[in-house]
Structure 1
Amino acid sequence: MTGHLPVPTPYTGSEVDNILRIALDIGEGMLKCGAEVHRVEVTIERICRTYGAAHIDVFTIHSLILAAVYMPDGSHSTQSRRIFDSSNYLSKLELYNSLSREICQSKPPISEVDERIRAVKDSRVYPFIRSFFGHVIAAGSFAVFFGGSLRDGVAAAIIGAVVALLNVIRFDYFNKMVKILLISFVAGLLSCISVRVGLGESMAMIAIGTIMLLIPGLSLGNAMRDLLGGDTLTGTLKAVQAVIIALMIAIGYSLAILMVGGGL
């Protein structure tokens, strides 16, 4: 009796496209939430292999994902995603990680995965009121921590509230760098004015407290992580971006000081 190996069912073009699409949807979401590049690439590859892919090529930097998937029957698909902005939403990132693990374990239908991805995208990161009070407390605390008086802390806390409000305003006609420049200018202007009107005592301490809300410390740390992890291109791009953000902050505060004529 001669046995015959089962012939694999050929994949249609739309099936291959959908497999890669859901993998890129999850990878894009992870990257927007602050995931490291290597983790995004591994996740995309594992999801595609779960659905039968024979070979996957993935190239990811902080602003772009390129991926090609090849199935055992020779069918293939190539797609890309452009990432325009990212932040550090660790709670939502964990939801994407949990979803990718479930996909690799149970291989749910594509339609079900689409629904789960939409649910994660629509989930709220955290209420604005929490971010608002976080800005207020952080700015006031940093001003006092670095040697400012309680009056400086109060002034910095008020300016921190303004920064929190400006952060949620959409600047449709400006990119991220210009937005940071404008917020820095407003914060610097308010720091000078608060001393002029007698609310605060030291413009330097108030400015330090509010600057701490804007400096890209986490971005620079992530850049070093990528560089040490071997992702030289991504790490370099992130480091350059962090330096440019720091320059925008410095320019914004400097312009405010020059305009008002406040001394440090």
Structure 2
Amino acid sequence: MELDKQRSELYGVMEVCLRAGRIMLQSGAETYRVEDTMTRIASSFGIAQSHSYVVPTGIIFTAEDGGPGITKLIRISQRSTDLQKVTLVNSVSRRISDGEIGLDEAVKLLAEIDEKSHTFPISIQAVAASLASGCFMIMFKGVWIDFLPALVAGALGFLVSTYLQEIIPIKFFAEFSGSLIIGIVSFLFVNAGLGVQLDKIIIGSVMPLVPGLLLTNAVRDLIAGHLIAGLSKGAEAALTAFAIGSGVAVVLMLV
């Protein structure tokens, strides 16, 4: 009975570690941060020997309790950017390390974090993407007459990319379509005499689609020694950049 109780507690700790790691990885955390958080949680609950292997598409976690280790694998199929969730999981991890909360409360807190969405409504995201597009266009030495075309093109490109990714879960196709819409709208504004510099409008409008967080995490993972995760994230960022460039190139070749 005592052995069964220890095993049950071990499985509970592993579930907490894996859930915390999954939430962080799906929300845009770096690989080394996910591994460090899982190891700290396991150590705080009395598991001195634990090993984790994290890549962008999965997590492998092993815990040892003096006998044969127990290994679990979870698959990560969807990833987004929600740094608020990363911060909340880090907060739970610190409270566990300080001994403020136990296993049951940690499970409850992580479940609440996992269920909630901290992202802004799509309308606010579109407005932010629109303003960012106009501001980037000015930053790249554009003229103020192109500010309105950049606002419209940036918002439409972001909306098309976001909605297509929900309908067809192929990131390349969604980003290609978004940049294609940006190129078409920008050309129509310039052709109608409402815009001047086609290149500046397009450059500013595609900036909300650029995978900035992905590139940053790829570099940080490479520096931390997580070569496979860093290279895979770098490849994903390169594929995104290729999709954006391809959509714009199609428009420029046709006009």
User: CA offsets per residue over residues 131-185 of structure 1, 9 Å max, x none?
Assistant: 2222111101111222222221110101122133234424343311221111111
Match of 1:148 among 130, 142, 154: 142
Counterpart CA distance in 2 for 1:111 and 1:186 is 49
Match of 1:115 among 108, 112, 118: 108
Aligned twin of 1:99 = 92
Q: Does the Cα contact within 8 Å between 2:154 and 2:206 map onto a contact in 1?
A: no
Counterpart residue type for residue 64 of structure 1: G
CA root-mean-square deviation: 2.1
Match of 1:200 among 177, 195, 203: 195
The CA deviation at 1:90 is 2.0
The CA deviation at 1:248 is 0.8
Match of 1:166 among 155, 160, 168: 160
Gaps of 5+ in 2: none
Secondary structure of 2:98's counterpart equals helix
Aligned twin of 2:118 = 125
Within a 5 Å distance, the mapping from 1:1-264 to structure 2 comes to: 9-10=2-3, 11-72=5-66, 74=67, 76-106=69-99, 108-128=101-121, 129-169=123-163, 170-259=165-254, 261=255
Identify which range, 223-232 or 12-21, moves more after superposition.
Answer: 12-21
Secondary structure of 1:171's counterpart equals helix
Q: Does the Cα contact within 8 Å between 2:161 and 2:177 map onto a contact in 1?
A: no
Q: Does the Cα contact within 8 Å between 1:51 and 1:107 map onto a contact in 2?
A: no
The CA deviation at 1:210 is 0.9
Question: Between Structure 1 and Structure 2, which shows a larger proportion of helix residues?
Answer: 2
Q: How many residues align?
A: 252
Q: Does the Cα contact within 8 Å between 1:41 and 1:60 map onto a contact in 2?
A: yes
Counterpart residue type for residue 217 of structure 2: N
Counterpart residue type for residue 210 of structure 1: S
Counterpart CA distance in 1 for 2:114 and 2:230 is 26
The CA deviation at 1:231 is 1.4
Q: Does the Cα contact within 8 Å between 1:66 and 1:81 map onto a contact in 2?
A: yes
Gaps of 5+ in 1: 1-8
Secondary structure of 1:212's counterpart equals helix
Counterpart residue type for residue 193 of structure 1: L
> Relative to 1, partners in 2 of residues 1:77 and 1:165: Cα closer, same or farther, differing over 3 Å?
same
> Relative to 1, partners in 2 of residues 1:95 and 1:228: Cα closer, same or farther, differing over 3 Å?
same
Q: Does the Cα contact within 8 Å between 2:52 and 2:62 map onto a contact in 1?
A: yes
TM-score (norm 1): 0.87
Q: Rg larger in 1 or in 2?
A: 1
Q: Percent identity?
A: 28
